[in-house]
Structure 1
Amino acid sequence: METCGSCSSNNLPQGCKNNGACGTGNCNSKLSVFDWLSNIHSPEFNNHQPQYLEVRFKNDRKDFYIKDSSLAINIGDIVAVEASSGHDVGVVSLTGELVKIQMKKKKVKYEEILKIYRKATPKDVDIWQNFKAKENRVMLEARKISKDLGLQMKICDVEYQGDGSKVTLYYTSEGRVDFRQLIKEYAVAFRSKIDMRQIGYRQESAKVGGIGSCGRELCCSTWLTDFRSVNTAAARYQQLSINPQKLAGQCGKLKCCLNFELDIYVDALADFPSSQTILDTEKGKAFCIKVDVFRKQMWFTYTDNSISWYPINIYDLKKLIELNKKGIIIKPLDELLEKEIVKVDLIEENNLNRFEKRTKSNNKKRSNNKTKSKKNEKLLNNPVNEKKNSGQRKKNSRKNNP
């Protein structure tokens, strides 16, 4: 699907056939929530009661609002909502009972919820679209002003309020920034109320977007909204090498996907003995050097000879640990292990020349077939053989026709 900028007419996307009411900002941004409780109402449902809605603004910014019972609003409608000063314009992304569940999850206070004024008029939409078109130019100009003032910060995104009375500038910085002179410069340049909001590097990459090392769009810019802290313990549980260049994402922090499978690894490692286990054998002490979660094995090696590694199944390992606890020294690891199974690569997956071998064998077969056919042609074309064959044919015809 193309982006809304390329498949649109009159600033309304036509490729997704929602005519500007898809509520996603553009075709590649975070998807709207599917309302699986749209046809279910609570026992206390009353048409005259005020209803709560979720409204989406630029990128992943959402907020909850209350509407009057007389307003008929559905998902995808563009609405004008109450703001701290003036009004804002957004797209309704969720309605019904699922909104209350989301509000309870995010611990929203009902007394602080703002109102929905009305459905956006064509004039509201035109003003909103005009200010949205200015955001990229304003961001570049804001970066230039902050650089001229020598401030250690980066303006990564700009968002205008629906009526243009306020502009919010999102920035990243490692330290504290003095905004006194900066806000004066911004107010003169943009002629609007200025709101500065500091965000983290993960939120910055979510707003900017990009392609990850996996070849797909970044999770934070497509669907991930809950940015949990990631530490190196998640990599250790998954037996990954602590390499910052491989574990870091485009934001410079540890990849969020390290948390996706962490719970599975933690549950699997619950059955494993401690990686600090030391076995007393007749050849000396052996310590754990590697853990294979999928095969449920732990590899051990001797302290004196760390070249040879020995895989031991965790269930057999627990028995050996119990013997050591009783004071029994176990046999050497090479005697305890079964005979090594010879692995045969049937499909020759690791062989780089596998295709060359097949072509050579095929060429040999073809050459052999060609030589055989040439020999047969020579025999047939030989005049001596032709005379013998003709004589034999005459004899056969005389016998058949006396």
Structure 2
Amino acid sequence: MNREFNKEEQTENRPNEKYPYSVAVCFRGAGKPYSFGTYHTDLQKDDWVVVETAQGDEMGQIVAEPLNIEMYGLPMPTKPIMRKATQRDHEDYQENLEEEKAAFRICCDEITELKLDMHLLSAQYTLSHDKILFVYIAEQRVDFRELLKRLGTALRCRIELRQIGERDKAKMVGGIGMCGMECCCTRFKNHFDVISINMAKNQLLALNI
């Protein structure tokens, strides 16, 4: 599979870059939109774009019309939209989805063999396929150094293991609250505040679990 991108299609992320437009982009598995800067005026809602993130190049979907930063007094985005997603980007994206399933199974098998007390939730490649992120939950801190070595040998790319909390898990997998509705963290909450004992008592939650 050819993973080389045309560098001329990409927008360089120069320090202190001032973009005229801010664009809200959502990624799979993340309900929160993130802002990216662009000079392009032909971007529209529902377009798929390739953006630069801290994790690497990612493909996401524009969820709102681009806004003029100066007109609306918006904060300046620090990362750029690199280009509209090409046919090759879409093909790589779909291939990654399939290969993530295999990587997920490999990681689960290694966790079982090493008898690690952790529960794997997801596996996700960057668009360029040079890094994979495994998300998991665990009651205690896990020593996964041997797991990292085995995964690196099996998958031949950079590996990141990220532990998340129960509310982040609920946001990923969904669920029904005691009110009978879909969990707030799945529907709309993007930031989780600290929960006090009184809050838990008010919701009739068990405190000794």
TM range (shorter): 0.7 to 0.9
Indicate the residue corresponding to 2:29 in structure 1: 59
Distance 1:101 1:132, change over 3 A: farther
- Contact 2:21-2:68 within 8 A present in 1 as well: no
Distance 1:219 1:102 in 2: 30
Deviation (angstroms), 1:213? 3.8
Relative to structure 1, the CA distance from residue 223 to residue 49 in structure 2 (aligned partners, 3 Å threshold; closer, same or farther) is: closer
1:118 deviation in Å? 0.9
Contact 1:78–1:92 under 8 Å retained in 2:
yes
2:149 matched to 1:184? yes
SS at match of 2:115: coil
1:102 to partner: Cα distance: 11
- Structure 1 residue 161 corresponds to structure 2 residue 131: no
Equivalences for residues 36-51 of structure 1 within 5 A: 50-51=20-21
Q: Distance in 2 between matches of 1:152 and 1:102?
A: 48
More strand by share: 2
Q: Quote the residue 2:176 is aligned against.
A: 211
Cα deviation for residue 97 of structure 1 reads: 5.4
Please give the per-residue CA displacement for 1:163-198, whole angstroms capped at 9, x wherever unaligned: 222111111123222232211211222222211212
Give the alignment partner of residue 116 of structure 2, picking from 141, 151, 163. Answer: 151
Q: Distance in 1 between matches of 2:47 and 2:112?
A: 40
Counterpart for residue 172 of structure 1: 137
Tell me if 1:120 matches 2:85.
Answer: yes
Secondary structure of residue in 2 paired with 1:158: strand
Structure 2 residue aligned with 1:78: 48
1:215 and 1:55 map into 2 onto residues whose CA distance is: 30
**Identity, % of aligned pairs?**
28
User: Which SS does the other structure have where 1:81 is aligned?
Assistant: strand
Aligned-residue CA RMSD in angstroms?
A: 3.2
Residues 157, 207 of structure 1: 8 Å contact kept: no
Which residue number in structure 1 is paired with residue 158 of structure 2?
193
* Structure with more contact order per residue of length (Cα contacts < 8 Å, sep ≥ 6): 2
Of 50, 58, 83, the residue aligned with 1:88 is 58
Name which of structure 1's ranges 141-150 and 54-63 shifts more when overlaid on structure 2. 54-63
- 1:122 to partner: Cα distance: 0.8
- Conservation of the 8 A alpha-carbon contact between 1:58 and 1:159: no
Query: What SS is found at the alignment partner of 2:194?
Result: coil
Between 135-144 and 155-164, the greater mean CA deviation after superposition? 135-144
| 3-state secondary structure, aligned to 2:181 | coil
Q: Is the alpha carbon distance of 1:62 and 1:150 closer, same or farther for their aligned partners in structure 2, counting shifts above 3 Å? A: farther
Amino acid at match of 2:171: A
Between the aligned partners of 1:153 and 1:49, the Cα distance in structure 2 is 42
* SS across alignment from 1:114: coil
Aligned-partner Cα distance in 2 for 1:146–1:216: 34
Counterpart-to-counterpart distance in 1, 2:41 and 2:140: 47
Amino acid at match of 2:137: T
CA contact (8 A) 2:132 2:160 kept: yes
Aligned residues: 190
Secondary structure at the residue paired with 1:205? helix
Aligned residues of 1:54 and 1:62 also touching (Cα < 8 A): yes
Which deviations, in whole Å up to 9, do the C-alpha atoms of 1:19-65 show, x marking residues without a partner?
A: xxxxxxxxxxxxxxxxxxxxxxxxxxxxx953222221121254322
Residue in 2 aligned with 1:347? Answer: none
Question: C-alpha separation between the residues in 2 aligned to 1:76 and 1:103?
Answer: 21
Q: Find the counterpart in structure 2 of residue 262 from structure 1.
A: none
Q: How does 1:324-343 map to 2 (within 5 A)?
A: none
TM-score, with structure 1 as normaliser: 0.42
What is the one-letter code of the residue matched to 1:91?
A: Q
Cα distance in structure 2, aligned partners of 1:103 and 1:151: 45
Corresponding residue of 1:232 = 197
Checking the alignment, whether the CA contact within 8 Å between 1:79 and 1:117 is kept in structure 2 is yes
**What does 1:253-402 align with in structure 2 at a 5 Å threshold?**
none
Tell me, which stretches of 5 or more residues in structure 1 are unaligned? 1-47, 105-109, 253-402
| Residues 204/123 of structure 1: CA separation in 2 closer, same or farther (3 Å cut) | same
1:155 partner letter: L
Q: Which has the larger radius of gyration?
A: 1
CA contact (8 A) 2:20 2:68 kept: no
**Runs (5+) with no aligned partner, structure 2:** 1-17
